[in-house]
Amino acid sequence: MSSPMVPGPGESPGLSPWEREILAGIERDLEAESPRLAREMAQLTAAAPVPPGVVETGFLVVSFVLVLAVAGLVPAVVWAFLAVISCVVVVPWVLLRVLEKLDPPSSDDR
């Protein structure tokens, strides 16, 4: 049985050598039939990766704007209800997590 191949920097992690050969053939055919399309596709796939944290920051900003936009539409009674639910559910959960961190279970408790 052969050992799995370690993918290179531009290769997909799960491709066998046979699949890589087929993919290379498709790329050669595309280059021969439509060089302009092949160049455009190469430029699209060669784009710089998004720096870590940018996507998360974008989602955070969009979420914050959405909450602010909806906050003006929601009556005060709903906010009061959410505050009560938060106190009943979130506060005990946070306290439980803090207590778990302060007193980890010992091997005798298992």
How many whole angstroms separate alpha carbon 97 and alpha carbon 99? 5
**The predicted structure's pLDDT at residue 103:** 81
The pLDDT tens digits of the residues spanning 53-99 come to: 888 888 989 998 888 888 888 888 988 898 898 889 988 989 998 99
* pTM summary value: 0.32
At residue 84, the pLDDT reads 92
CB atoms within 10 A of CB 15: 14
